[in-house]
Amino acid sequence: MSLKIIRAGLLDTIQDPGRYRHQHQGINPGGAMDCFSAALANALLGKELASPTIELHFPAAQVLFQQASIICLTGAYFTPMISDKEVPLHQPIIISNSTVLRFDKWGSGARCYLSILQNFTLDKWLNSYSTNLKGEAGGYKGRRLLKDDVLKFENAATLPITKDFETLPWQYRIEGTGSNEIEFIVGNEWSWLTTKSQAAFLNNEFSISPVSDRMGFRLIGEALEQGVNDSLVSSAVTFGTVQLLPNGQLIILMADHQTTGGYPRVAHITTTHLPKLAQMSTGDKVKFVMTDVYSAEKKLVAQQNYLRALQNTCNLKMQKRLNAN
Amino acid sequence: MNEEYTISPLGDSALLIYFRNKIDDAINKKVLSIFNRLQKLSLPEITDLIPAYSSLAICYDVAALHQKNATAFDTMKNLLEPILEAADGQSLFTTRQMKIPVCYAKVYAPDLEALAFDKNLLAEEVIGLHLAITYRVYMIGFLPGFAYMGKVDNRIATVRKTAPVNVAAGSVGIAGEQTGIYPFASPGGWNIIGRTPIKLFDKQNKEPVLLQPGDEITFYSISEDEFENYQGGPS
């Protein structure tokens, strides 16, 4: 009852929605970069939304299923293949034992999520499965997945399957908006920007620099000016905080951000727009759009309700399917 | 309207209680007094508390607080009001006092001589001044378990390096009026004047982080030999 990594990917880690209640100790929440896709992969399998998934970057790992399972892939499109046939994203797939899942070619997005029906037998660290690379804790041995790692899962589902794989008849359809608009709420130090720079922030596009990772995305654009001659005493930051660096460029803090920072917080990306941002890569352009707290909260609550309803529906379908066997 | 602090959104899932852009003992005590009270109350809607020098961030569960005619932000703010009123700057807990061994030998103190030269002091005088003060942990940040402590004697307060270098785990450094210890090997810009053999982060522990905001810390000097054979924690 396990899967085995037969070729390591660039950066594949176990992630759940993150590790909370420890930020006062400097322990950052981590968690999936694209929390929506991670939760969606679980929802489509009818699993708890907060279950851990494997977050894959391209080139992604090759995974040998030593036991049959039902899997779901969401997020980035890396051309997933099972036995030389391409398999869909956003749709549960029964995969038979001794079968390999691999990812052939980068197509779009930056992070793909792999959820499997059974629960992994992993230990939580500080109440979360997320991998904390700095602390070498959580996830799988506190590190990225490497060749020959074996991830065990709990009880095996009884899945009589004669083919290498079979897709199940329900699917999530992405509303494909190619928009690069990212919503934000003004930050505590928004007023530190000159009026001209505030306008530039609102009207210009900023492109994602190659120096971007799970900790933060550096942006390249017109240098912004600080109108206030002051330096900030260290204070809290969050996933999505946009800081103004001393050279006038911006950085957006992502899942593995530090808990505190000393650069002016000019903006905060709204939670429901972080997944879109998390799927962007080097060279992609971001256009900031201002919103207010009420609208941002409303979208967040609606998204959570949607995912929960989807999970319930898929859970019923899954139970029916499993009982039919 | 309270003139002491402002409360503003820190994104859509957190708020920031912000005093002044200043490192100040009295303000930090107020921050920690609110932090203590909220920790003790342990409200289920609150997902994280991040105290800093002169601010406290409160992360919350939006879905649990959002109402049709009120934002989660406003609901949280109202919930906080009586708690903020009650927080008088006194800690609810006894202040923890800790003694941390530091070896100031050259091999562990790459920046000690340059700092001494810069400040027109002997290396021994820098060490003496660093040892003379009981420091307060204002906040934890930057890395898991990295304690920002202060204030150091003005005579050894010094600017951060312009570019970060690789710093070993346990390194004790000075930046501005602050002193701190690196729990991990990490790039860093603080001026390193010594190293402690004590583990500031241990993932095996139930509380993986040794220091907490509000702790009072004094350092004592140990030799290279003592450093190498040191076992156990602080005293």
Query: Are B208 and A135 within 8 A, CB to CB?
Result: yes
Measured distance CA(B153)–CA(B219) in Å, rounded: 14
Contact B62, B46 (CB under 8 A): no
The one-letter amino acid at B107: V
Q: Residue A176 has what pLDDT?
A: 64
Q: Can you give the three-state secondary structure of chain B, one letter per residue?
A: CCCCCEEEECCCCEEEEECCCCCCHHHHHHHHHHHHHHHHHCCCCEEEEEECCCEEEEEECHHHHCECCECHHHHHHHHHHHHHHHCCCCCCCCCCEEEEEEECCHHHCCCHHHHHHHCCCCHHHHHHHHHCCCEEEEEECCCCCCEEEECCCHHHCECCCCCCEEECCCEEEEEECEEEECCCCEEECCEEEEECCCCCECCCCCCCECCCCCCEEEEEEECHHHHHHCCCCCC
Q: What's the mean pLDDT in A238-242?
A: 98
Q: What's the mean pLDDT in A165-192?
A: 91
Q: What is the pLDDT of residues B195-211, one digit of tens each?
A: 999 999 999 999 999 99
Measured distance CA(B62)–CA(B44) in Å, rounded: 12
Is any Cβ of chain B less than 8 angstroms from the Cβ of A188?
Answer: yes
pTM: 0.95
Is any Cβ of chain A less than 8 angstroms from the Cβ of B139?
Answer: yes
Residue A252 has pLDDT above 90, yes or no: yes
Query: Are B203 and A125 within 8 A, CB to CB?
Result: yes
DSSP annotation of A150:
E
Nearest partner of B13 among A214, A250, A23, judged by Cα: A23
Residue A298 has pLDDT above 50, yes or no: yes
Contact A183, A300 (CB under 8 A): no
Alpha-carbon gap: B31 to the closest alpha carbon of chain A (Å): 12
Q: What's the mean pLDDT in A116-133?
A: 96
Alpha-carbon gap: B20 to the closest alpha carbon of chain A (Å): 9
Nearest partner of B83 among B38, B42, B128, B52, judged by Cα: B38
**Which residues, 6 or more positions from A44, have their beta carbon under 8 angstroms from its beta carbon?**
A72, A74, A90, A91, A92, A115, A170, A171, A172, A310, A314
Q: Residue A237 has what pLDDT?
A: 97
Q: Residue A156 has what pLDDT?
A: 66
Q: What is the pLDDT of residues B73-129, one digit of tens each?
A: 999 999 999 999 888 777 777 899 999 999 999 999 999 999 999 999 999 999 999
Residue of B nearest to A231 (CA): B21
Query: Are B72 and A297 within 8 A, CB to CB?
Result: yes
Quick one: tokens of A269? 């990306």
The one-letter amino acid at A241: T
Query: Are A304 and B63 within 8 A, CB to CB?
Result: yes
Q: What's the mean pLDDT in A150-177?
A: 83
Size of interface A-B (CB pairs under 8 A): 148
Contact B18, B5 (CB under 8 A): yes
Is any Cβ of chain B less than 8 angstroms from the Cβ of A297?
Answer: yes
Q: Is B162 exposed, middle or buried (0-12, 13-18, 19+ CB in 10 A)?
A: exposed
Measured distance CA(A256)–CA(A11) in Å, rounded: 13
More confident residue, A52 or B142: A52
Q: What's the mean pLDDT in A109-136?
A: 96
ipTM at complex level: 0.95
Dihedral angle sign, alpha carbons of residues B1, B6, B9, B13 = negative
Residue B161 has pLDDT above 70, yes or no: yes
Q: Tell me how many helices (H) and strands (E) chain A has.
A: 4, 21
Q: What's the mean pLDDT in A152-175?
A: 84
Mutation target for A interface from B5, B6, B10, B12: give the one with most A CBs within 10 A: B12
Query: Are B10 and A240 within 8 A, CB to CB?
Result: no
Alpha-carbon gap: B124 to the closest alpha carbon of chain A (Å): 30
* Mean pLDDT, rounded, of chain A: 95
> Given B59, B71, B213, which is nearest A297 (Cβ)?
B71
Q: Residue A229 has what pLDDT?
A: 86
Q: What percent of chain A has pLDDT over 90?
A: 90
> Given A185, A230, A235, which is nearest B12 (Cβ)?
A185
DSSP annotation of A271:
G
Nearest partner of B136 among B31, B216, B199, B43, judged by Cα: B216
Where does the pLDDT of residue A325 fall: very low under 50, low under 70, confident under 90, or very high at 90 and above?
A: low
Phi/psi of residue B178, each to 5°? -105, 155
Is any Cβ of chain B less than 8 angstroms from the Cβ of A273?
Answer: no
Q: Residue B1 has what pLDDT?
A: 45
Query: Are B139 and A240 within 8 A, CB to CB?
Result: no
Q: What is the pLDDT of residues B25-70, one digit of tens each?
A: 999 999 999 999 999 999 999 999 999 999 999 999 999 999 989 9
Contact B187, B167 (CB under 8 A): yes
> Given A230, A233, A238, which is nearest B54 (Cβ)?
A233
Q: What's the mean pLDDT in A72-84?
A: 97
3-state DSSP call for residue A62? Answer: strand
Residue A64 has pLDDT above 50, yes or no: yes
Nearest partner of A163 among A219, A104, A94, A100, judged by Cα: A94
> Given A24, A136, A142, which is nearest B213 (Cβ)?
A24
Distance of CA B132 to the CA centre of its chain: 19
CA atoms within 13 A on the CB side of B204: 1
Mutation target for B interface from A133, A271, A297, A299: give the one with most B CBs within 10 A: A297
